[in-house]
């Protein structure tokens, strides 16, 4: 095949890549629409659903966009299910893959190495966002991350176009996207820092600081975030205090978290090969000179470098969430996709291409394996561990235990509540539900048949404090209550505190969760009679003489890790 024939064949193959990407995107979306219903909601997902039941301009833990999206989805479909709660995450991560495809394609068009490079770069960037374990997980898990990742990618792409062309429309759109990123998660401040750092170190970037376009972008972001800022000002800036103070508290260095962070990113978030390719792409981009066409590739590099550098430093002090870096890796992945083509003049070209293809296959393989593990039916898991000794059974099913029993528990709690209502014989009757962990309270509310209102009964913790804004204990004076907890030890410890506020507290009722005749976990319910209307004060010691134990030992977030 001569040179012209090869070029024609390459162009024809490149022309098919966009259609192939959209076909792949549609297939992934259809598959995930089914997979959304495989797993129960985690405690955090149910907690975000609780946000949507209490519409507000802000919440304690995070900005409110996630609550708005869940509210819109559940109203659109007319009911609250695992599918309707997670549906926005599915659309947003599909949108992120599309944005990254367009982003990489546009970047490569600025300085293409081969005629097929833009199409190949766009296809690969979209494929990695669809197939990397971190993004595949976020595409089926409704939290603050899916909207944040989408709007961070959109803002960076639009800002690249704005810096390159100077068109006010791109600046305005980039500012609005940045506002929605901030309305999703406060980690968006790292995007602002990355852009600012890029402008400071780049001579051409500094020129924009003297022009009106960046101020136009800021003006377009303000209407998006001003209502939330107003709400925070009315509530003592609690969202900022949570994210920048309470979550950052650490008494001593803990360098053992650094290898955990690095290995987690390499083996669980991206896969080893893609992790190394992304880092190499960052190094290559940051070494580029500020010459020729405007260096928009460096912008992608700095928006990745700044948050990754911070999380690496923070890992010396505390455990870093696996998903916190999701937006940070976007720029690195796009740059890696742009660097995919290896010059044929390089004597190592064939070997390098083989390693890169192996890296992508390993990445996709890890994601497929994770889907298979998560989709194992509870009954099959029980059968696989049936012949193991009891201690090994407990360890083997420990990672799956959070999957069991939420709907059964919701039904049981509502049954107990109805029994207590029927036995009251007074007007107006009333029984409310209280829990020791915010994840359990939210899951009971979601999985109970009538979507019970639940309340948090525990000392202040890092997460879940939005319940303090919703709970109105004086309005519940005279009512009975059902207290739900996971461990018997915690149930008995709580009886002292409960007895300060109720006339009578009954012995814990054990509620086991049984799968194929074998108990996999259990809960404990306490019936409490006549609440005195005084909100619990957990700064005082319980009447039994011992402080109520911290709920840190009872992690009911509904998902492992």
pLDDT of amino acid 348 = 64
Q: Does 287 score more than 70 pLDDT?
A: yes
Question: Is residue 444's pLDDT more than 70?
Answer: yes
Contact 558, 439 (CB under 8 A): yes
Q: Are the beta carbons of 251 and 318 closer than 8 angstroms? A: no
Q: pLDDT of 117-167, one tens digit each?
A: 788 889 999 999 999 999 999 999 999 999 999 999 999 999 999 988 888
Q: Tell how strand 518-531 and strand 502-505 pair up.
A: antiparallel
pLDDT at residue 61 above 60? yes
pLDDT of 20 above 50:
yes
| C-alpha span between 370 and 35 (Å, rounded) | 12
Mean pLDDT (the chain) is 84
Local confidence band at 181 (pLDDT 50, 70, 90 cut-offs): very high
Of 256-265, 339-348, 487-496, where does mean pLDDT reach its minimum? Answer: 339-348
| 9 vs 297: which has the higher pLDDT | 297
DSSP 28: H
Cα-trace Rg, the chain: 26
Q: Which of 209, 388, 202 is nearest to 302 (CA)?
A: 202
Asked if pLDDT for residue 336 goes beyond 80, the answer is yes
Does the pTM surpass 0.85? The reply is: yes
**Separation between Cα atoms, residue 524 and residue 505, nearest integer Å:** 13
In the predicted model, is pLDDT for residue 63 greater than 90?
A: yes
- HSE value, Cβ hemisphere, 13 Å, CA-based, for 439: 21
What's the pLDDT at 546? 36
pLDDT over 90 percentage in the chain: 52
Domains along the sequence of the chain with CATH: 81-228+254-369 (no CATH), 403-553 (3.40.50)
CA atoms within 13 A on the CB side of 426: 9
- Region 444-449: what's the mean pLDDT? 95
Residue 217 near residue 156, CB atoms below 8 Å:
no
Low-confidence winner among 124-133, 388-397, 403-412, 441-450 (lowest mean pLDDT): 388-397
User: 181-185, 377-381, 468-472: which range is least confident on average?
Assistant: 377-381
pLDDT digits (tens, 9 = 90+) for 207-247: 888 888 888 999 999 999 999 999 999 999 999 988 887 77
Q: Is the pLDDT of residue 553 over 50?
A: no
Q: What is the mean pLDDT of residues 186-199?
A: 91
Is residue 39 pLDDT above 70, yes or no?
Answer: yes
pLDDT band at 172 (very low <50, low <70, confident <90, very high): very high
The predicted structure's pLDDT at residue 544: 37
Residue 15 in this model has a pLDDT that exceeds 90: no
Is a pLDDT exceeding 90 seen at residue 454?
A: yes
Please, which pLDDT band fits residue 395 given cuts at 50, 70 and 90?
low
Q: Cα(115)–Cα(335) distance, rounded to whole angstroms?
A: 18
Mean pLDDT of 477-498: 91
CA neighbor of 544 nearest in space, from 506, 492, 486, 502: 492
Q: Compare 169 and 209 and report the one with higher pLDDT.
A: 169
**The CA-based dihedral angle spanning residues 406, 412, 418, 421, taken in that order and rounded to the nearest 10 degrees:** -100
Angle between helices 82-110 and 296-314 (to 10 degrees): 130
Burial class (CB in 10 A: 0-12, 13-18, 19+), 303: buried
DSSP symbols for 91-107: HHHHHHHHHHHHHHHHH
Range 386-399 average pLDDT: 58
Output the CA torsion 170→329→65→47 (10° steps): 170
542, pLDDT greater than 50:
no
Residue with tokens 């394609």: 105
Question: What's residue 49's pLDDT?
Answer: 96
Ordered alpha helix ranges (H), 57-116 = 65-77, 82-110
Report the C-alpha gap between 134 and 202 in whole angstroms: 32
Residue 510 three-state SS: strand
Please, which residues have CB within 8 angstroms of residue 533's CB and are 6 or more apart in sequence?
A: 473, 474, 475, 476, 477, 478
Could you give the percent of the chain with pLDDT greater than 70?
83
- Residue 561 in this model has a pLDDT that exceeds 60: no
- 556 is written with which tokens? 């009911």
Q: How many CB atoms lie within 10 A of CB 206?
A: 12
Nearest CA among 136, 190, 178, 123 for reference residue 154: 178
Q: Is the bond preceding 428 in cis, omega lying within 30 degrees of 0?
A: yes
Under the banding of pLDDT at 50, 70 and 90, the label for residue 548 is very low
Tokens representing 304 are 């990745």
Helix extents (H) in 111-167: 117-131, 133-138, 145-165
Which residues does 416 contact at the CB level (< 8 Å), separation at least 6? Answer: 482, 509, 525, 527
The answer to which of 158-162, 249-253, 466-470 has the lowest mean pLDDT is 249-253
pLDDT at 293 exceeding the cut of 70: no
Task: State the Cα–Cα distance between residues 405 and 228, nearest whole angstrom.
Answer: 37
pLDDT of 204: 74
Residues 6+ apart with CB under 8 A from 514: 520
Residue 327 DSSP label: T
pLDDT score of 349 more than 70: no
Burial category of 291 from C-beta neighbours within 10 Å (exposed 0-12, middle 13-18, buried 19 and up): exposed
513: helix, coil or strand?
Answer: strand
């Amino acid at each position: 095949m001569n040179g012209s024939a090869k070029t024609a064949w390459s162009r024809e193959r490149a022309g098919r890549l966009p259609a192939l990407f959209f076909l792949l995107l549609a297939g992934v979306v259809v598959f995930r629409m089914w997979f959304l219903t495989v797993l129960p909601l985690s405690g955090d997902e149910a907690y975000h659903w609780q946000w949507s039941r209490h519409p507000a301009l802000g919440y304690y833990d995070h900005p409110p966009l996630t609550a708005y999206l869940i509210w819109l989805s559940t109203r659109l479909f007319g009911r609250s299910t695992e599918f309707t709660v997670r549906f926005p995450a599915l659309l947003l991560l599909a949108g992120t893959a599309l944005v990254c495809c367009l982003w990489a394609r546009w970047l490569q068009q600025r300085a293409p190495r081969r005629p097929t490079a833009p199409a190949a770069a766009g296809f690969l960037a979209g494929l990695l966002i669809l197939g990397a374990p971190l993004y595949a997980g976020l595409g089926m898990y409704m939290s603050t991350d899916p909207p944040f990742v989408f709007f961070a990618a959109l803002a960076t792409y639009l800002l690249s176009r704005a810096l390159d062309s100077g068109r006010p429309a791109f600046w305005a759109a980039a500012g609005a996207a940045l506002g929605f990123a901030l309305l999703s998660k406060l980690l968006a401040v790292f995007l602002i820092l990355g852009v600012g750092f890029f402008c400071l170190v780049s001579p051409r970037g500094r020129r924009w600081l003297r022009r009106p376009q960046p101020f136009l972008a800021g003006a377009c972001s303000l209407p998006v975030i001003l209502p939330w800022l107003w709400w925070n000002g009315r509530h003592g800036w609690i969202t900022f205090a949570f994210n920048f103070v309470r979550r950052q508290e650490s008494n001593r260095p803990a360098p053992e978290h650094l290898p955990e962070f690095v290995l987690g990113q390499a083996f669980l978030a991206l896969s080893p090969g893609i992790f190394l390719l992304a880092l190499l792409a960052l190094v290559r981009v940051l070494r580029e000179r500020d010459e020729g066409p405007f260096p928009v590739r460096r912008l992608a590099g700095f928006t990745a470098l700044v948050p990754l550098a911070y999380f690496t430093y923070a890992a010396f002090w505390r455990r870093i969430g696996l998903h916190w870096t999701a937006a940070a890796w976007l720029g690195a992945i796009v740059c890696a996709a742009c660097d995919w083509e290896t010059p044929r003049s390089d004597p190592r070209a064939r070997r390098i291409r083989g390693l890169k293809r192996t890296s992508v296959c390993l990445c996709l393989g890890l994601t497929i394996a994770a889907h298979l593990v998560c989709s194992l039916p509870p009954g099959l898991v029980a059968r696989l561990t049936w012949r193991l000794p009891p201690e090994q059974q407990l360890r083997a099913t420990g990672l799956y235990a959070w999957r069991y029993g939420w709907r059964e528990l919701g039904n049981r709690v509502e049954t107990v509540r109805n029994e207590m209502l029927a036995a009251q014989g007074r007007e107006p009757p009333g029984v409310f539900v209280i829990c020791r962990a915010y994840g359990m309270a939210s899951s009971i509310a979601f999985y109970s048949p009538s979507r019970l209102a639940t309340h948090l009964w525990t000392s202040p913790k890092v997460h879940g404090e939005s319940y303090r804004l919703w709970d109105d204990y004086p309005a519940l004076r005279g009512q009975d209550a059902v207290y739900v907890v996971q461990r018997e030890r915690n149930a008995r410890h709580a009886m002292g505190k409960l007895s300060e506020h109720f006339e009578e507290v009954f012995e814990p009722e054990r509620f086991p969760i049984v799968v194929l005749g074998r108990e996999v976990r259990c809960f404990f319910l306490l019936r409490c009679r006549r609440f005195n209307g005084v909100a619990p004060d957990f700064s005082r010691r319980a009447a039994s003489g011992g402080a109520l134990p911290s709920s840190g030992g009872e992690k009911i977030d509904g998902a492992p890790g």
